[in-house]
Amino acid sequence: MNPNDAPVLQDIHLPPDPSWWPPAPGWWLLAFVLFVMIALIVRFSVPRWRQRRRSVRALAEFENIVTSFHGQQNHLKLAADLSQYLRRVTLLRMPHAVALSGDAWLDHLDTAAGTQEFRTGIGRVLLDAPYRPAQPFDAPALIALTRRWTCAVLRSSHA
């Protein structure tokens, strides 16, 4: 056979490289799963983050009230400030209870903290201190009671 008579063979044409778009179905599935996971993380993390931020602010406000009292020793102002503080924290955590007054308010505070000291102890000062002549009361006990109440309410709201 004559080599010049043989057919001339052409090189094999390779297919073009696959393009990056559109991605394969597996990549679409992975993107969807990642999107759903990120959405769920944001959905459940943001409210918890906001709750913690409010708790930190509430504790900072309480410490400001205590610091102000230690500087001025004004019992009437302390009772009024702590009463307003308790209302504000209650508004954040249990808005249905803000409208309570008198013994019902003290009962709610006792229930929220798991104590009886608001209704039967030093906590009664919160009801009548603004309406009577300035008389000293056991301010450290009221501050400690409010601190325990705050910790109990903030802890229960994180659960």
Count the domains in the chain. Answer: 1
Q: What is the pLDDT of residue 1?
A: 59
In a domain, 110, yes or no: yes
Residue 64: domain span: 55-157
22: phi then psi, degrees, rounded to nearest 5:
-80, 150
In a domain, 126, yes or no: yes
Q: What is the pLDDT of residue 6?
A: 73
Is the predicted pLDDT of residue 5 greater than 90, yes or no? no
DSSP labels, 11-45? PPPPPPPPPSSSPPHHHHHHHHHHHHHHHHHHHHH
Q: What is the pLDDT of residue 10?
A: 84
Q: What is the pLDDT of residue 159?
A: 52
* pLDDT category of residue 18 using cuts at 50, 70 and 90: confident
User: 52-73 burial, b if ≥16 CB within 10 A, otherwise e?
Assistant: eeebeebeebbeebbeebeeee
Alpha-carbon distance 103 to 26, whole Å? 64
Q: What is the pLDDT of residue 8?
A: 79
In a domain, 141, yes or no: yes
Q: Tokens 């008579």: give the residue.
A: 5
In a domain, 38, yes or no: no
**pLDDT tens column, 23-68:** 999 999 999 999 999 999 999 999 999 989 999 999 999 999 999 9
In a domain, 103, yes or no: yes
In a domain, 19, yes or no: no
In a domain, 48, yes or no: no
**pLDDT tens column, 137-155:** 899 999 999 999 999 998 8
Residues with Cβ within 8 Å of 113's Cβ and at least 6 positions away in sequence, in order, are 148, 149, 152, 153
Q: Are 119 and 106 in contact (CB under 8 A)?
A: yes
In a domain, 91, yes or no: yes
For residue 137, which of 145, 60, 113 has the smallest C-alpha distance?
145
